[in-house]
Amino acid sequence: MGSKTKPIAFNSNAGKGLQLGPVIKALGISPTVTLPNGQVVDYSNQALQYTDNNGISTPATKATIGLAINQLAVNYPQLGEWVKSHFGITTGTSKESTAAWDSLASANFVIEKAVSPEIRSAQSSIKKQQTVITNLENQIQFGTSTATAAAEVNAFDSIKSIIDSWNYSQAQKDFLSQQMAALVLRNGEHITNQKSLMGVLRGEDPSGLGSQIDAKIKADYNNAFAGLVQYNSQPGAVRMNESQYAAYTQKIIDTATQYGAPMPTPTQIGQLLNHNVSPVEYQQRVTDIYAAVSNADPNVKALLKKEFGVDHHHLMSYFADPKVGLQDMQRQVATTEIQDYASRVGLQGLGLSEAERMAQMAKLAGTVGNQGLGYGVTQIESSMQNAARDAGLLRTLPGESRPTVNTSTLLASQLPGLDGKNQVAAQTQVARAEQAKAAPFDKGGGFVENAKGVVGLGAART
């Protein structure tokens, strides 16, 4: 700090308590803090207080200053952590309290001149090296020669804003804020580079605060952003940040809410992301698969379970499984819907393989103009309904010859290219079958005609 800058001091008169206002003003941080219980405290008018186990608060003394600074850091990390680290306070023991008070007293309670026990030891050991001492004294004004108090506070505010925007519990946010305060504000190796701090927050870089803290930071991150690290590590992947991940997640959740589908778990969202299932595709999965199967006839549900092992009671694990392609699921649902419809309109003998081939046609129709799968299936069912008008050609009456067409031919007459059959040829075959079926009933009801006329009931001789 320049010579014209007013020194940072608690209060030269310790009898009135160690006033926090001058320190807050010098650091340029907000004096107002909202405590967890909702109480708003203006620390600019507060002395450093120590609250004992009975809840009684008194001004900090030589015996309690270490504990008081620890308590301050809980409610006011920006101020408390800076003061705490400046004096080397870790546990707040009597030894630490005595050292902090003596350091303050010897400096007339001017924090800039007071140093932690570690730095006092360093100063003593290199007392004769005046150049080093001068550099050290410059550093201990706010911890380093490159990080001023303002830079530290700005770095902490920025990283805390990021933490607050993440989908963490309040306890997790408080924990992370405390760790970041230790990294940014503690005496020694101050970190104000946001990229470095983000590396710690994401669990990518060690914090230097211990393996247990690093493990918790990484676990909390992976739970909140399931699958994001894996996605960003894919070769050639366009990196996704936390805000983009939150937007992706919200779109998935909005779709589930809109259609009443089961809410995907964080793990499932991570799996969807890593299999490149976009929110648009997820919505189509919900509408084409979940909604369609949920509202399907019992026979369709039974066919799905029998032929494809799809249990409608566990649809979430089916339609949200990114390992199963959307088109595969569409084909399976369409296949069973087509089979069910065929039986309802009287087209017997439609097997699984043929229904699957028709489902392929439905799937193609369903992609035209971004129409849903239901559109394609409707077109197929319309053709099936037309074919069903000739379902009588599949049956024989007493005295009639065997049918000359089957279900496949009837369908091919309505669906061009089905099973590789020529539609015109199939239509001709159906027309001939219709004529043959009607022939016995021509000219008076189908009785034998000879040179003398028609023989039989209803005919007259000429």
Q: What is the pLDDT of residues 174-217, one digit of tens each?
A: 888 888 888 887 655 577 788 888 888 888 888 888 888 889 99
CA dihedral 53, 54, 60, 61 (to 10 degrees): -80
Neighbour tally for 196: CB within 10 Å: 14
Q: Which two tokens stand for residue 359?
A: 């489902």
pLDDT for residue 9: 66
| Average pLDDT score, the chain | 75
Q: How far is CA 169 from CA 162, 165, 219, 227, 265, in A?
A: 14, 11, 13, 19, 17
Of 14-23, 217-226, 278-287, 350-359, which gets the smallest average pLDDT? 14-23
Residue 41, pLDDT above cutoff 90: no
pLDDT for residue 356: 81
Helices (H), 233-351: 242-259, 266-274, 279-285, 292-294, 298-308, 315-319, 326-344
Q: What is the pLDDT of residues 50-63, one digit of tens each?
A: 888 888 888 888 88
Residue 6, pLDDT above cutoff 80: no
Q: Specify whether the CB–CB gap between 227 and 270 falls below 8 A.
A: yes
Q: What is the pLDDT of residues 381-402, one digit of tens each?
A: 777 777 777 766 666 655 555 6
CA 254 to chain CA centroid, Å, is: 12
CA distance 54 to 155: 37
| Exposed/middle/buried for residue 183 (C-beta within 10 Å: 0-12, 13-18, 19+) | buried
pLDDT for residue 451: 43
More confident residue, 264 or 461: 264
Residue 25, pLDDT above cutoff 70: yes
Q: What is the pLDDT of residues 389-436, one digit of tens each?
A: 776 666 665 555 566 667 777 777 777 767 667 677 777 777 777 776
Q: Helices H, strands E: what count in the chain? A: 23, 6
pLDDT for residue 248: 92
| CB < 8 Å & 24+ apart, contacts of 306-312 | 307/332, 307/335, 307/336, 307/352, 308/332, 308/335, 308/336
CA distance 171 to 67: 22
Q: What is the pLDDT of residues 240-261, one digit of tens each?
A: 899 999 999 999 999 889 888 8
CA distance 182 to 156: 10
pLDDT for residue 245: 92
Mean pLDDT of 289-318: 78
Mean pLDDT of 93-109: 80
Contacts of 119 (CB under 8 A, 6+ apart): 136, 140, 187
Q: Specify whether the CB–CB gap between 181 and 209 falls below 8 A.
A: no
Phi/psi zone of residue 210: left (φ > 0), alpha (ψ -120 to 50 degrees), beta?
left
Residue 150, pLDDT above cutoff 60: yes
Q: Which of 216, 164, 160 is nearest to 183 (CA)?
A: 160
More confident residue, 215 or 87: 215
pLDDT for residue 344: 80
pLDDT for residue 155: 80
Dihedral sign, CA of 58, 22, 180, 33? positive
CA distance 255 to 290: 12
CA distance 181 to 27: 15
More confident residue, 240 or 25: 240
More confident residue, 177 or 36: 177
More confident residue, 238 or 458: 238
Name the pLDDT band for 109 (thresholds 50, 70, 90): confident
Q: Which of 221, 332, 323, 240 is nearest to 277 (CA)?
A: 323
**pTM of the predicted model, to two decimals?**
0.50
Highest mean pLDDT among 97-106, 144-153, 450-459: 97-106
